[in-house]
Structure 1
């Protein structure tokens, strides 16, 4: 069975975007981005909610001129090679290769994909991930904590679910970002 991996860039106070919806403070350094790339290589399918999809579809373009570095170009290749599932009740179509639009995946649908996937699944977007956490489907949590407090916004982890985590790895980067990888402890 594939693992369901949740990864988020977050402020030190636990938000993926600030109260105005901005994540400008979260742009990864080359060092952090290269580290993320290495982590993402095991993902065969990304599962996104609509808002996360709208951010991530930037990588769908074949315009390599928009990559600011070889690290960025590497991520573009990793992302384009994976399948994508976009969960949205408002979108009517998605316009990139290897991308499927579903209007309601639900816990049962996500569990089925996890059970039949030949490679890990990455779930992106804290709102969609919260549903997976509540259903007990997330296996691993990776947080990239930026040294900034934004005071509010969208929380990286669900506020209405208790999730027992066991620290598996940690790393500190030169720019002060801290990577924490946890395994989800199931009762």
Structure 2
């Protein structure tokens, strides 16, 4: 079975985006950016909700060709472009860049992908991750917690019907006071 991980930058008060979808507070240090890039390189498949897909696909397909691009950004762009991706959307009709579109039941498709042994799967996007979280499909949570309180916005965690017990498997501090924590779901 392929493990499913949900990881994002998050504010100390638990939001992946502030009011108005503001993510300006979550710009990673070079070291954290490299950590996320290495994560992309190790991912077998990435799952995206519509909004995160729109954000990622508006930048990374051509980021390696932009003026002033850094070597780390070029590396990330190439890794992102070549990584297999699945977008879950009922409104999008076309996707590119090594990506396929799923418009049907997300839970059934995520469960099917996990049953295949296609390597580690990362899921991103608050709504899609909440669906997987509520269905008990997430095996690992990765929080890159920034020392900022944004006061509202899009929460990292979904409302759940039952507790989910976790085991802490990694902690690491990055420049700027960002603390990375990784938890595995205790089954």
* TM class by smaller structure: over 0.9
Which has the higher mean CA deviation after the structures are superposed, 40-49 or 9-18? 40-49
User: Where has structure 1 moved over 6 Å in runs of 4 or more?
Assistant: none
Question: What is the RMSD of the two structures over their aligned residues, measured on CA atoms?
Answer: 1.5
TM-score with structure 1 setting the length: 0.93
Contact 1:5 1:139 in 2 (8 A): yes
Query: Residues 81 and 132 of structure 1: is their aligned pair in 2 closer, same or farther, counting only changes over 3 Å?
Result: same
Deviations 1:121-146 (A, max 9, x none): 11001211111111111111111111
Query: Residues 67 and 6 of structure 1: is their aligned pair in 2 closer, same or farther, counting only changes over 3 Å?
Result: farther
Query: Residues 31 and 63 of structure 1: is their aligned pair in 2 closer, same or farther, counting only changes over 3 Å?
Result: closer
Query: Residues 139 and 66 of structure 1: is their aligned pair in 2 closer, same or farther, counting only changes over 3 Å?
Result: farther
Query: Map of 1:1-187 to 2, 5 A cutoff?
Result: 1-57=1-57, 58-61=59-62, 63-65=64-66, 68-94=69-95, 96-161=96-161, 162-186=163-187
Contact 1:133 1:163 in 2 (8 A): no
Q: Distance in 1 between matches of 2:117 and 2:80?
A: 17
| Paired residues, number | 185
Deviations 1:26-63 (A, max 9, x none): 11111110111222222121111100101111212264
Shift of 1:182: 0.5
What are the ranges of 5 or more consecutive residues in structure 1 without an aligned counterpart? none
Query: Residues 67 and 126 of structure 1: is their aligned pair in 2 closer, same or farther, counting only changes over 3 Å?
Result: farther
TM-score with structure 2 setting the length: 0.93
Q: Counterpart of 2:75 in 1: which secondary structure?
A: helix
Q: Distance in 2 between matches of 1:45 and 1:26?
A: 24
